[in-house]
Amino acid sequence: MRVACFARRLVATMAAMASPPSAVLDRSAITEAIPLIALRVPAKKCGKFLGDSKIKAGLLNMPRRRNIVPDDAQPGAGTKLVLLRPEVTDLELSSAPDALRACAREEGAEALAYTLRLEYADFTADQVLRRLLPAGVEVPTAFETIGHIIHVNLREEQLPHKALIAQVLLDKHGPRIRSVVNKLDSISNQFRVFPMELIAGDPDMRAEVRQNGCVFQLRYDAVYWNSRLEAEHARIVALLRPVDILVDMMAGIGPFAVPAAKRGVRVFANDLNPASFEWLEHNVRLNRVERLATSSCEDARVFLRRLCAPRTMDGGAAEGAGASELLVARRKAGDGRVHVAMNLPASALEFLDVFSGLFREGAWHGELPTVHCYCFSKAKDGAAIDDARARAAAVLGVSLDGRSEVHVVRDVAPSKLMLCVTFVVPDEVGWARGAARAGGRGDAGAAGVEAGAHGGEVDARRAEEGETVPKRARTAPELSAPGACTGR
């Protein structure tokens, strides 16, 4: 006897409340009856159906569901039921794999109709929400988890159903997940912390995450954290050798800094957000890298200028005397490369002006630092890489063509990319006018391309601050590509 095809045989008895939106989740209403074919088999012969993969291919294969179940219609008869895949639709088993049909015949199995009853626990969050949300309301599928917290970005039409959505997410991802928060608005504040509301669960926003071999603790509503940057953090950390130094100007709670220090790299990490700074210090201690990581809470420009300022004998910063803190640390580490991370993509490019004339004779020697500066770009038609490079160059006031790399980190929105521009601070930008270039390259003062609008502003400010601003040439000089950055 042929039973109707699978699609028609799915008898949905669940109460799929399409509307109105309900804050109360009736779990008992989420059921489904699936007609199957079962084989009645003596209990001791059930193993025959499990040993061979060709036979097993015809058996029910559903998460959390057994394919051999008690034979409730014949208690005490010593038989069990072997449940077949929903695709097997007839009692003659003509739609079953040949091996299964042959085994059933050999063992004298009786084929019979069976109804598999699914309950709330059998469905995934996606399946439940597909049933509960009204037509036209998309099921939220992409969300981030931060320790025990799920963070969703609900759309306008999903908001009336937020309580329901959050409850299902808690049910399906618990007990590990205890809280669901919704982003209320795009990030617009300086510390890159987005406004959020708790839509279900525990209001405790102190979370613990693991990334790149380190443990991080944080207060999600007070600091910036993005689990999707793990690969980017790992990419930068992998560039570092123990003889190198990492200067993280916008360090957040330490996802570059802590793994770098764990790798044996001397780290200077800074963040302007006092909460981030506290968690950064906490994470440095938690991961036992206090010996290598120094944290501070300053504006990024102030921080970098302090590290690069010549030091007096007693350690204070005073013009004209002694090596900078950064140079001293670099010598101690083994004279490797200094990497500067600037991950504040909304505005990090603007901070590049800090490198103008930052390095002075005596306070620095050798190759200038390698900068990894992040930005967003909405440039169309594959122009984002050139756009990022050109904007960085405009702030520096020199061309970066042939001496920078641009890495696409991720797409943050349709037609908006996050990118990382990597380059060695060009000599003609970094060296203060008149500074000796021990190990440096050529006279920086006269080099450089025609300043872009931004470069001009930088010069104006430097002049205001009493600095001697190098003249900019009107043509791009041929500059050697810096060691680490093969230009594209």
Residue ranges in contact with ligand SAM by CB under 6 A: 190-192, 224, 226, 229, 250-252, 255-256, 270-273, 276, 299-300, 343-344
Q: Which secondary structure element, helix H or strand E, spans residue 217, and what is its range?
A: strand 214-219
Q: How far is the CB of 192 from ligand SAM (least distance, A)?
A: 4
Residue 273 annotated as lining a ligand binding site? no
Rounded Cα–Cα distance for residues 432 and 298 (Å): 23
Q: How far is the CB of 306 from ligand SAM (least distance, A)?
A: 12
Question: CB-wise, 31 or 227, nearer to ligand SAM?
Answer: 227
Q: How far is the CB of 253 from ligand SAM (least distance, A)?
A: 7
Q: How far is the CB of 190 from ligand SAM (least distance, A)?
A: 5
Of 143, 136, 207, residue with least CA distance to 172: 143
Pair 258, 214: CB distance under 8 Å: yes
Of 475, 487, 483, residue with least CA distance to 427: 483
The SS3 call for residue 208 is: strand
Question: CB-wise, 84 or 304, nearer to ligand SAM?
Answer: 304
Residue 299 annotated as lining a ligand binding site? yes
Question: CB-wise, 318 or 413, nearer to ligand SAM?
Answer: 413
Q: Which residue in the shown chain puts its C-beta closest to ligand SAM? A: 252
Rounded Cα–Cα distance for residues 305 and 135 (Å): 57
Of 177, 209, 178, residue with least CA distance to 283: 209
Residue 98 annotated as lining a ligand binding site? no
Half-sphere exposure of 257 (CA within 13 A, CB side): 35
Q: What are the DSSP E strand ranges found in 249-365?
A: 266-270, 293-296, 338-342
Residue 271 annotated as lining a ligand binding site? yes
Residue type at 221 in one-letter notation: D
Q: How far is the CB of 295 from ligand SAM (least distance, A)?
A: 12
Residue with tokens 């390095």: 359
H helices present in 267-299, as ranges? 274-286
Question: CB-wise, 229 or 392, nearer to ligand SAM?
Answer: 229
Q: How far is the CB of 395 from ligand SAM (least distance, A)?
A: 15
Pair 428, 422: CB distance under 8 Å: no
Rounded Cα–Cα distance for residues 278 and 270 (Å): 11
Rounded Cα–Cα distance for residues 403 and 363 (Å): 25
Question: CB-wise, 36 or 258, nearer to ligand SAM?
Answer: 258
Q: How far is the CB of 269 from ligand SAM (least distance, A)?
A: 9
Question: CB-wise, 123 or 256, nearer to ligand SAM?
Answer: 256
Residue 372 annotated as lining a ligand binding site? no
* C-alpha dist (Å) from residue 308 to 55, 208, 246, 321: 72, 34, 13, 12
Question: CB-wise, 118 or 304, nearer to ligand SAM?
Answer: 304
Q: How far is the CB of 488 from ligand SAM (least distance, A)?
A: 24
DSSP-assigned letter for residue 296: E
Question: CB-wise, 67 or 276, nearer to ligand SAM?
Answer: 276
Rounded Cα–Cα distance for residues 258 and 253 (Å): 9
Residue 272 annotated as lining a ligand binding site? yes
Q: What residues are designated binding site for S-adenosyl-L-methionine?
A: 233, 271-272, 299-300, 343
Q: What residues are designated binding site?
A: 233, 271-272, 299-300, 343
